[in-house]
Amino acid sequence: MNRLGIILAVLFIAALLVMGLSLGLGSVALSPGDVWAVVTGGGEPLQRALILELRLPRTLAAFATGGLLAVAGALMQVLLRNPLADPYVLGISGGAAVGALLSMLAGLATVLVSGAAFAGALLSTLLVFGLAHGTGSWTPVRLLLTGVVVAAGWGALISFLLAVSPGAQLPGMLYWLMGDLSHASHPGPALIVLLLAVLLAWPLGRSLNVLARGSLQAAALGVSVRPLEWTVYLLAAALTASAVTLAGTVGFVGLIVPHMLRLVLGNDQRIILPAAALAGGILLTLADTLARTVIAPQQLPVGVITAMLGVPVFLYLLHRSR
């Protein structure tokens, strides 16, 4: 078995364990036996409702969101050749947030809030795409600056919306902005997007490895840089849009998980991309399980826990590396 196979197998088993933990833990205590009974089709009606209606969709949504963001972050960091890049750096989350907050302000239903978030993410992606293209030549720096400025614009709009919104709407809006999985009930599409994206990005891994060394070198080595960069940008945008539509702007995962994996596994995109899908999912599922249970019945936004778990682990890895 090659190295990639072993890494993915280990992460896959860890993912299954974390999901099992997430199904078993909650503010209502259930024994592993109860969970097993429900998973195999038995159990009491109440236990079935708790696990199948509440915990399972949320667990899958957390896993999908984490995976999407981690892969998107890994792609953005290669695309922009910038270690500080994360899925939100180009303003996709800002556009989604403005869409979501506007629809919450109008008092629209859940489905429409998600739809508005997706539309906002799409609008922002196309805006940055069009503006960065501009009249002159196209460079990652130009893309980065365009994205950062557009993101700042969205940020101002978000502050404006928060300032004029009635008090009753504010908690929901703040939870959305902090990233919140409590509403995520249909994780299916996001999981499919994640799977498709990894299958699509995997063959690009070799080219991305070259691209990470700089576009000139990549071009000299026979990579068609421009099409590759746009593919990566649109792929990362689609991943990010799916994630924010599902769970709001969960921070941190997209920035840190790819770096953690690089510190441990080395900078080979063929390994990093599939590993990020699993590791991001594991981190967010674990974080969300804690967010639901640490001070239950009070529920924390998942972003709080992600950072608390991730910061010390990341600092340790960074300190250990040479």
Partner 1 sequence: MSAIRSVTVPPAPPPWIVAWVVLCLLALPVKVLGEIRVTDDAGREVHLAKPAQRIVSLSPHLTEILFHVGAGEQVVGTVSFSDFPAAAGRLPVVGSAGQLDLERILALEPDLVVAWQSGNPSRQVTRLEQLGLTVYYSEPRRLADLADTLEQLARLTGVPESGAARAEALRQGVRALTAQYAHRPQVPLFYQIWDKPLMTINDEHIIGELIGLCGGHNLFGELPALVPRLGPEAVLAADPEVIVGGGSGEDNRAWVDDWRRWQDLTAVQRDNLFFIPPSLIQRQTPRILEGAALLCEQLEQARQRRPESGR
Considering beta carbons, is residue 259 or 292 the nearer one to partner 1? 292
Q: Does 185 interact with partner 1 (rule: CB under 8 A)?
A: yes
Q: Does 159 interact with partner 1 (rule: CB under 8 A)?
A: no
Q: Which of 83, 96, 13 is nearest to 256 (CA)?
A: 83
Give 13's contacts (C-beta < 8 A, 6+ positions apart): none
The region of 50-58, 146-154, 247-255, 260-268 touching partner 1 under the rule CB under 8 A is 50-58
Q: Does 50 interact with partner 1 (rule: CB under 8 A)?
A: yes
Considering beta carbons, is residue 46 or 221 the nearer one to partner 1? 46
Q: Strand runs (DSSP E) across 134-227, as ranges? A: none
Q: Which of 161, 101, 127, 82 is nearest to 237 (CA)?
A: 127
Length of the chain: 322
With CB under 8 A as the rule, give the number of residues binding partner 1: 26
The DSSP annotation for 237-293 comes to HHHHHHHHHHHS---SHHHHHHHHHHHHH-S-HHHHHHHHHHHHHHHHHHHHHHHHH
Q: Which of 6, 9, 13, 49 binds partner 1 (CB under 8 A)?
A: 49
Site for partner 1 in 301-320 (CB under 8 A): none
CA–CA separation, 151 and 157 (whole Å): 10
Q: Which of 2, 135, 137, 298 binds partner 1 (CB under 8 A)?
A: 298
Give 92's contacts (C-beta < 8 A, 6+ positions apart): 121, 124, 125, 237, 240, 241, 244
Q: Does 31 interact with partner 1 (rule: CB under 8 A)?
A: no
Q: Does 297 interact with partner 1 (rule: CB under 8 A)?
A: yes
Q: Does 48 interact with partner 1 (rule: CB under 8 A)?
A: no
Q: Does 106 interact with partner 1 (rule: CB under 8 A)?
A: no
The region of 63-71, 167-175, 224-232, 268-276 touching partner 1 under the rule CB under 8 A is 167-175
CA–CA separation, 219 and 209 (whole Å): 12
Q: Which of 11, 24, 38, 55 binds partner 1 (CB under 8 A)?
A: 55
The region of 25-33, 136-144, 214-222, 303-311 touching partner 1 under the rule CB under 8 A is 25-33
Give 229's contacts (C-beta < 8 A, 6+ positions apart): 79, 140, 211, 215
Q: How far is the CB of 27 from partner 1 (least distance, A)?
A: 5
Find where tokens 């024994």 sit.
31
Q: Which of 171, 203, 222, 227 binds partner 1 (CB under 8 A)?
A: 171
Question: Would you tell me which residues interact with partner 1 (CB under 8 A)?
Answer: 26-28, 46, 49-50, 53-55, 109-110, 163, 166-168, 171-172, 175, 182-183, 185, 292, 296-299
